[in-house]
């Protein structure tokens, strides 16, 4: 590969001349000096690509090229904002998990800071931009909304639980929606769904891993205890009321939802305690894994 520099109107420009033997099916090659388009015809193609260090766009995708022409990957600080470039060097947009935390990147690639509203979802972020919690936009009816951080199966179960929570709430307060006159000083659907809690999501993921590896009985994981024991260890809302539900060997989210309902109904009927009703709780954390084609979930409810 031959590389030489050419000074143009926009400053120093780098031109790359390369001869590449295109592998069958390959559309792109990254040769350490920037993106190079190749053809999937197993023939050598000599091409030239011009670029400048910094932002470069190719086929609608933005990349950041270092002064030596290499693609930047991972976190990028530029123009006072934070961006994230994926393993191919492409600028990320939308929801993205990075090192166990979830972030939202706007269409221009900039990381979101502060409260964010998307459709009927409202999201809170830490000062570092990590997702902390999510809920629905007030006075839109409650129920299902996109958590932003769940896979398809977990989101499906989350939607069903939120719709059930909404139905239970409106069943108890049937006139609230009809009486609402648009006054934003009053919230008619305050508890018509669950607030998604990222700390509870992480706790659920830890608990699900333990349950699948070591078993689960009487609301306990051997060697670790109950969810309240675990929340005491991580020092998170130790005085709150919690209920943990572990469901296994499910075909899909609908079967998981039915199993959760069955567990709650049995406990409520035997103890007549509101703590065994979905309507009682305010926050939720969830984790999902698949094993041998079956779906496993841990759901943590908190008030």
Contact 221, 215 (CB under 8 A): yes
- pLDDT higher than threshold 90 for residue 53: yes
Classify residue 81 by burial, with Cβ atoms within 10 Å: 0-12, 13-18, 19+.
middle
What integer pLDDT is reported at residue 269 of this predicted model? Answer: 76
- Domains of the chain, residue spans: 2-78, 181-302
What integer pLDDT is reported at residue 173 of this predicted model? Answer: 82
Tell me the mean pLDDT in the region 55-72.
Answer: 95
Q: How far is CA 97 from the centre of its chain?
A: 6
Homologous superfamily (CATH) of 181-302 is: CAP (3.40.33.10)
Tell me the mean pLDDT in the region 8-19.
Answer: 39
- pLDDT higher than threshold 90 for residue 270: no
- pLDDT higher than threshold 50 for residue 97: yes
What integer pLDDT is reported at residue 267 of this predicted model? Answer: 85
- pLDDT higher than threshold 90 for residue 149: yes
Cα–Cα nearest to 132, from 158, 98, 101 = 101
Query: How far apart, in whole angstroms, are the C-alpha atoms of residue 231 and residue 176?
Result: 35
- pLDDT higher than threshold 70 for residue 23: no
Greater confidence, 41 or 104? Answer: 104
What integer pLDDT is reported at residue 175 of this predicted model? Answer: 72
Helices (H), the chain: 152-172, 176-179, 198-214, 227-234, 253-271
What integer pLDDT is reported at residue 72 of this predicted model? Answer: 98
Query: How far apart, in whole angstroms, are the C-alpha atoms of residue 267 and residue 19?
Result: 70
Query: How far apart, in whole angstroms, are the C-alpha atoms of residue 5 and residue 36?
Result: 17
The percent of residues above 90 in pLDDT, for the chain, comes to 70
pLDDT digits (tens, 9 = 90+) for 183-236: 655 788 889 999 999 999 999 999 999 999 999 999 999 999 999 999 999 999
pLDDT digits (tens, 9 = 90+) for 110-141: 999 999 999 999 999 999 999 999 999 999 88
pLDDT interval class at 11 (50, 70, 90)? very low
Tell me the mean pLDDT in the region 139-148.
Answer: 94
């Amino acid at each position: 590969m031959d590389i030489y520099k050419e000074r143009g109107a926009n400053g120093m420009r780098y031109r790359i001349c390369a001869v590449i033997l295109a592998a069958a099916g390959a559309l792109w090659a990254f040769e350490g000096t920037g993106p190079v388009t190749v053809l999937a015809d197993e023939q050598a193609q000599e091409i030239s690509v011009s670029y400048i260090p910094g932002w470069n766009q190719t086929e609608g995708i933005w990349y950041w090229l270092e002064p030596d022409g290499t693609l930047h990957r991972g976190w990028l600080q530029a123009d006072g904002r934070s961006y994230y470039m994926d393993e191919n060097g492409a600028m990320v947009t939308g929801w993205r998990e990075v090192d166990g935390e979830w972030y939202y990147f706007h269409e221009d690639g900039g990381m979101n800071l502060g409260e964010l509203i998307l459709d009927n979802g409202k999201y809170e972020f830490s000062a570092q931009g990590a997702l902390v919690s999510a809920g629905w936009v007030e006075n839109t009816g409650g129920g299902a909304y996109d958590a932003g951080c769940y896979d398809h199966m977990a989101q499906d179960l989350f939607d069903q639980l939120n719709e059930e929570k909404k139905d239970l709430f409106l069943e108890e307060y049937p006139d609230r929606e009809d009486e609402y006159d648009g006054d934003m000083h009053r919230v008619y659907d305050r508890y018509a769904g669950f607030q998604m809690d990222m700390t509870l999501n992480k706790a659920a993921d830890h608990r699900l891993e333990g349950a699948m590896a070591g078993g689960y009985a009487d609301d306990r994981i051997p060697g670790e205890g109950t969810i309240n024991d675990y929340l005491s260890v991580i020092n998170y809302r130790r005085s709150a009321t919690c209920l943990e539900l572990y469901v296994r060997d499910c075909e899909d989210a609908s079967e998981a939802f039915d199993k959760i309902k069955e567990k709650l109904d049995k406990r409520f009927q035997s103890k007549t305690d509101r703590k065994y009703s979905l309507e009682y709780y305010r926050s939720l954390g969830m984790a999902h894994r698949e094993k041998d084609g079956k779906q496993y979930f841990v759901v943590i409810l908190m008030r």
